[in-house]
Amino acid sequence: MQTKQQKKEEESLIFGLRPIIESILAGKEIDKLCVQSGLKGELVSQLMSLVKQHNIAFQYVPLEKLNRLTLKNHQGVVGYISSISYHKIADVLPGIFEKGKVPLLLILDRITDVRNFGAIARTAECSGVDAIIIPTRGSAQINADAIKTSTGALQKIPVCREENLKVVIDYLKECGVQIIACTEKTSDYYFQIDFTLPTAIIMGSEEDGILNEYLQKSDGKAKIPLLGEIGSLNVSVACGIILYEAVSQRLIS
């Protein structure tokens, strides 16, 4: 007998070669696909061509994993339907400037925990973040749990899913947005950063922080002082501290 969690997860699934192909052609948002290793055929080739064309994240998996996802006739392919519509930052940023706002953006580098992601989105919406930027691959699936944890914030704030975060960072810098990396690899504290400027804050994964290639492209780095014996904060807590420093500075200025 299925648990409530299993039923909830299955509701977000789409499976079968033709249903997934038709969904992509109809413009439905698909978070990722699981494709059976070694799967071949004309429909498979058509599907993978669409996957590459639409930059849909996918991974090859053994048949056993697909059977754990659903016992129905999946034909070697199972996908996760997105609960939200994604944006592109190049479409969102001009509108922020046109409204006369000073952009406050959040870049999440490989935040994979669904509940952390939801909690971050909730804080982001409350603190006036204009958009959240995530990579196409290596990010938490925005499912019912993420939306519930965010208390609906993920349906209110634009989430920009981008193929290449390096390209996004370069684009933001060209548009006059400073890139601030939240990392312990610096001597500068977060309250020493000027957040009244157009800003994009990068938060990294709890396993290994922000990738070096993004750190190198950052205009500034900021750390949170840790005075106890534990060496790190939960990423959603750290994100809240940084965002509300930005809020404080902008309210005072």
Calculate mean pLDDT across residues 157-186: 95
State yes or no: pLDDT of 135 exceeds 70.
yes
**DSSP label at 112?**
-
The pLDDT of residue 2 is 45
| Phi, psi of 96, deg, nearest 5 | -65, -45
Of 138, 190, 143, whose CA–CA distance to 164 is shortest? 138
State yes or no: pLDDT of 163 exceeds 70.
yes
Q: What is the CA radius of gyration of the chain?
A: 20
Least confident piece of the model among 19-23, 31-35, 137-141:
137-141
**At residue 29, what is the residue type?**
E
User: In sequence order, what are the residues at sequence separation of 6 or more whose Cβ sits closer than 8 angstroms to the Cβ of residue 111?
Assistant: 117, 120, 134, 139, 140, 203, 205, 235
State yes or no: pLDDT of 1 exceeds 50.
no
For residue range 82-119, list pLDDT tens digits in order: 878 889 999 999 999 999 999 999 999 999 888 899 99
CB-based contacts of 245-251 (< 8 A; 24+ apart in sequence): 245/190, 245/191, 245/193, 245/195, 246/104, 246/127, 246/195, 246/199, 246/201, 247/127, 247/128, 249/194, 249/195, 249/196, 250/102, 250/104, 250/195, 250/196
The C-alpha torsion from 161 through 164 and 169 to 171, rounded to 10°, is -90
For residue range 54-79, list pLDDT tens digits in order: 888 888 999 999 998 888 889 999 99
State yes or no: pLDDT of 8 exceeds 70.
no
Calculate mean pLDDT across residues 109-136: 94
The pLDDT of residue 3 is 47
Of 188, 227, 225, 224, whose CA–CA distance to 204 is shortest? 224
Q: Which residue has the higher pLDDT, 57 or 125?
A: 125
Specify the CATH number of the domain 89-252.
3.40.1280.10
Of 10, 28, 14, whose CA–CA distance to 77 is shortest? 14
State yes or no: pLDDT of 7 exceeds 60.
no
State yes or no: pLDDT of 15 exceeds 70.
yes
| Phi, psi of 84, deg, nearest 5 | -135, 170
Of 216, 222, 167, whose CA–CA distance to 199 is shortest? 222
What is the topology classification, in CATH, of domain 4-81? 60s Ribosomal Protein L30; Chain: A; (3.30.1330)
Of 179, 165, 181, 195, whose CA–CA distance to 89 is shortest? 165
User: In sequence order, what are the residues at sequence separation of 6 or more whose Cβ sits closer than 8 angstroms to the Cβ of residue 249?
Assistant: 194, 195, 196
Please report, for the chain, the start and end positions of each structural domain, with discontinuous segments joined by +: 4-81, 89-252
Most confident of 49-53, 207-211, 236-240: 236-240
Calculate mean pLDDT across residues 125-129: 96
The pLDDT of residue 143 is 73
The pLDDT of residue 10 is 56
**What percentage of residues in the chain have a pLDDT greater than 90?**
62
**DSSP label at 226?**
-
The pLDDT of residue 55 is 81
The pLDDT of residue 215 is 94
Instruction: Give the span between the Cα atoms of 75 and 106, in whole angstroms.
Output: 38
- Its pTM stands at 0.83
**DSSP label at 82?**
-
Calculate mean pLDDT across residues 169-173: 97
Mean pLDDT of the chain: 90
